[in-house]
């Protein structure tokens, strides 16, 4: 391993079995083969087995931050568990250099019958801290975890959020050379997630190597210098963070849109196509703050429906609600309709700050009780900020143009 490479993964693969009964039988056979001095047949799949991670190789140097993205079941958590030594690869090799702090699973390393205080010492020892070091950092861990009066309560009575707070507090205070964090941070409340993000930023400044698994693409974008997009156990992309996120979103949209279209065929009314257009009516998924956006909805109704309402809602990729629009609010009414058609929503000046966003669509009745069709996160798009706005990226949701007037008495000097 090179001196500055702290994580090296070489052609790593891990398989699992979909049948618990067969998995136990395979395990028993492998133990017998190992006892007889024969190597287990780990390089091939047996009945009902599948590769959760398949032939993955990458390297991470000291101080680098890597985001691991991909759909559920892509193998992200399995890969992280192999890096942390929780499970062993069936093929390939993992090399780690330095102390590892990891938060991969709620309650991992905790004994349910012991108190939070006792588990701090147990979990700290697992992460390589001695008792003297834990004693020194104990108050800081407790303050960061913010578990209040539950410190001396058995952790079996903790909520999932309390588990996360305590586990993350211990992991980051062991001063790791490498920090592995799974989507588990999403369990905590907003204020704690913010505190965790700030702590991760401080570790970055200390040249801690960080590997972060998350579906929060804004967090990945703001935290990681590069990403690996994992899909069905394979690396589909490795490189620049923004390019990796764009690749992931486009492929996810293609899969989702295809599923949506297949579902629409079985409905009496539904969306058949959704397009985003710029001010020149050209299809795109990239906009600048202040651009014109046209949302074009193609719909089909196989029978007459009365008073349909068409709606669109926007969310940031981390789930933050942005805005919603519908034809009822604008007093745009359709008494009775059957057939095919196009509906356009025009936003003359898109006020969003830089980031990734999702668009959901719906067709409902006037009273909103009955839903004819609903496509959550049907389309994703990216917004960048024009230099003329001079705003800090990703602060808030909307970009409000403004001007400053400054009047200072005394001596002052402007930057050149």
Q: What is the mean pLDDT of residues 206-214?
A: 91
Whether residue 293 has pLDDT greater than 80: yes
Count of positions (residues) in the chain = 416
Q: Max alpha carbon distance in the chain (Å)?
A: 87
Whether residue 388 has pLDDT greater than 90: no
pLDDT-based confidence at residue 392 (cuts at 50, 70, 90):
very low
**Res 411: pLDDT:** 64
Rounded to 10 deg, the angle between the 131-145 and 160-173 helix axes is 140
Q: What is the mean pLDDT of residues 279-287?
A: 91
Q: Which of 24-28, 168-172, 194-198, 259-263 has the highest mean pLDDT?
A: 168-172
Q: Are 199 and 89 contained in the same domain?
A: yes
Q: What is the mean pLDDT of residues 167-184?
A: 86
Q: Are 15 and 139 contained in the same domain?
A: yes
Distance of CA 193 to the CA centre of its chain: 13
Q: Are 213 and 293 contained in the same domain?
A: no
Is residue 192 within 8 Å of 146, Cβ to Cβ? yes
**Res 165: pLDDT:** 85
pLDDT-based confidence at residue 405 (cuts at 50, 70, 90):
confident
Q: Which range of residues forms the domain containing residue 146?
A: 5-240
* Domain CATH number, residue 376: 2.70.50.60
Total domains, the chain: 2
**Res 401: pLDDT:** 76
> Regarding predicted confidence, which is higher, 71 or 267?
71
Residue 396 lies in a domain: no
Is residue 396 within 8 Å of 351, Cβ to Cβ? no
Place of tokens 């991760």: 200
CA-closest candidate to residue 299, choices 321, 338, 276, 271: 271
Q: Are 233 and 313 contained in the same domain?
A: no
Q: Are 319 and 214 contained in the same domain?
A: no
Residue 317 lies in a domain: yes
CA atoms within 13 A on the CB side of 9: 22
CA distance 101 to 115: 21
Structure tokens, 107: 């309650």
What's 154's DSSP letter? B
Q: Are 171 and 317 contained in the same domain?
A: no
Whether residue 1 has pLDDT greater than 60: no
Average pLDDT, the chain: 83
Residue 398 lies in a domain: no
Phi-psi region of 410 (alpha: psi -120 to 50; beta: other; left: phi over 0): left
Residue 313 lies in a domain: yes
End-to-end CA distance of the chain: 46
Residue 410 lies in a domain: no
Place of tokens 């969306």: 271
Strand locations in 70-193 (E): 91-96, 100-103, 178-181
CA distance 355 to 342: 28
* Domain CATH number, residue 59: 3.40.50.300
Q: Are 191 and 115 contained in the same domain?
A: yes
Structure tokens, 81: 């568990």
Is residue 52 within 8 Å of 232, Cβ to Cβ? no
CA-closest candidate to residue 272, choices 247, 251, 302, 252: 302
Whether residue 163 has pLDDT greater than 50: yes
Q: Are 235 and 290 contained in the same domain?
A: no
Residue 143 lies in a domain: yes
Torsion angle in degrees (nearest 10) through CA of 123, 177, 56, 89: -40
CA distance 219 to 197: 8
Whether residue 32 has pLDDT greater than 90: no
Q: Are 66 and 170 contained in the same domain?
A: yes
pLDDT-based confidence at residue 106 (cuts at 50, 70, 90):
low
pLDDT-based confidence at residue 186 (cuts at 50, 70, 90):
low
Q: 267: which residues sit within 8 A by CB, 6+ positions away?
A: 372, 373
Residue 59 lies in a domain: yes
Residue 381 lies in a domain: yes
Alpha-carbon torsion 222, 226, 231, 232, what sign? negative
Q: Are 310 and 189 contained in the same domain?
A: no
Q: Are 215 and 95 contained in the same domain?
A: yes
Q: Residue 360: what are its φ and ψ, rounded to 5°?
A: -110, 150
pLDDT-based confidence at residue 79 (cuts at 50, 70, 90):
very high
Q: Are 217 and 323 contained in the same domain?
A: no
Kind plus residue range of the DSSP H or E element containing 138: helix 131-145
161, 223, 291, 382 from 286: Cα distances, Å: 36, 21, 10, 5
């Amino acid at each position: 391993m090179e001196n500055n490479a702290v994580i090296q993964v070489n052609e790593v693969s891990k398989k699992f079995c979909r049948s618990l009964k067969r998995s136990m039988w395979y395990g028993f056979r492998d133990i017998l083969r190992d006892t007889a001095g024969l190597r287990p047949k780990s390089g091939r799949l047996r009945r009902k087995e599948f590769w959760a991670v398949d032939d993955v190789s990458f390297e991470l140097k000291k101080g680098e931050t890597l985001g691991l993205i991909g759909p559920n079941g892509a193998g992200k958590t399995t890969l992280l568990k192999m890096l942390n030594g929780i499970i062993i690869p069936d093929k390939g090799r993992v090399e780690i250099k330095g102390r590892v702090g990891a938060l991969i699973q709620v309650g991992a390393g905790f004994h349910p019958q012991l108190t939070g205080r006792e588990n701090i010492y147990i979990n700290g020892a697992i992460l390589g801290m001695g008792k003297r070091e834990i004693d020194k950092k104990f108050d800081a861990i407790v303050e960061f975890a913010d578990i209040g009066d539950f410190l001396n309560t058995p952790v079996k009575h903790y909520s999932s959020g309390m588990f996360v707070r305590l586990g993350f507090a211990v992991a980051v205070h062991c001063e790791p050379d490498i920090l592995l964090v799974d989507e588990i941070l999403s369990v905590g409340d907003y204020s704690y997630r913010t505190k965790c993000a700030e702590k991760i930023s401080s570790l970055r400044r200390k040249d801690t190597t960080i590997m972060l698994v998350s579906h929060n693409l804004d967090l990945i974008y703001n935290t990681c210098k590069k990403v690996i997009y994992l899909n069905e156990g394979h690396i589909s992309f490795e490189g620049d963070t923004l390019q990796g996120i764009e690749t992931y979103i486009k492929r996810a949209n293609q899969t989702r849109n295809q599923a949506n279209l297949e579902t629409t065929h079985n409905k009496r009314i539904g969306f058949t196509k959704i397009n985003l257009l710029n001010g020149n009516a050209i299809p795109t998924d990239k906009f600048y703050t202040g651009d014109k956006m046209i949302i074009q909805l193609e719909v089909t109704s196989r029978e007459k429906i009365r008073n349909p309402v068409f709606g669109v809602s926007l969310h940031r990729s981390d789930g933050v609600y942005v805005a919603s629009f519908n034809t009822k609010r604008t007093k745009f009414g359709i008494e009775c309709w059957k057939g095919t058609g196009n509906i356009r929503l025009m936003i003359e000046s898109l006020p969003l700050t830089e980031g990734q966003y999702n668009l959901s669509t719906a067709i409902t009745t006037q009273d909103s009780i009955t839903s004819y069709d609903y496509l959550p996160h049907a389309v994703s798009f990216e917004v960048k900020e024009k230099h003329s706005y001079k705003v800090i990226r990703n602060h808030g949701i909307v970009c409000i143009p403004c001007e400053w007037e400054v009047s200072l008495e005394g001596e002052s000097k402007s930057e050149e």
